[in-house]
Amino acid sequence: MMLQLEPPIPLVTPEGPGRAVVLIDPGEDSDLIWVTFVDATGECWCWRNQDVRQITNRTMGRKAGELK
Omega before residue 7 within 30° of 0, cis: yes
- Look at residue 40 in the predicted model and tell me its pLDDT: 96
- Look at residue 20 in the predicted model and tell me its pLDDT: 97
**Which residues pair with residue 62 across a beta bridge?**
57
**Residue-by-residue DSSP string for 2-13:** EEEEEEEEEEEE
Note whether residue 24 is domain-resident: yes
Question: The whole model's pTM is what?
Answer: 0.82
Distances from the Cα of 42 to the Cα of 17, 29, 62, 63, angstroms: 11, 30, 26, 24
- The residues, ordered by sequence, that sit 6+ positions from 10 with a Cβ below 8 Å of its Cβ are 17, 18, 19, 20, 54, 55
- Look at residue 56 in the predicted model and tell me its pLDDT: 78
Kindly give the confidence (pLDDT) of every residue in the chain, 68 residues in length, as a single tens digit, with 9 standing for 90 and above: 999 999 999 999 999 999 999 999 999 989 999 999 999 999 999 999 999 998 877 776 766 654 44
Counting the structural domains of the chain, the total is 1
Note whether residue 68 is domain-resident: no
- Look at residue 63 in the predicted model and tell me its pLDDT: 67
Query: Residue 48's domain spans which residues?
Result: 2-54
